[in-house]
Amino acid sequence: MTPEEDAATTRPLFDRRMLEVLVCPLTGATLHYDATAQELVSREARLAFPIRNGVPVLLFDEARRLD
pLDDT at 15: 85
DSSP string, 5-65: HHHHHSPPPP-GGGGGT-B-TTT-PBPEEETTTTEEEETTTTEEEEEETTEE---GGGPEE
The architecture of the domain spanning 3-65 is: Single Sheet (2.20)
pLDDT at 8: 46
pLDDT at 10: 59
Walking along the chain (67 residues) 10 residues at a time, the average pLDDT comes out as 53 80 96 94 98 94 96
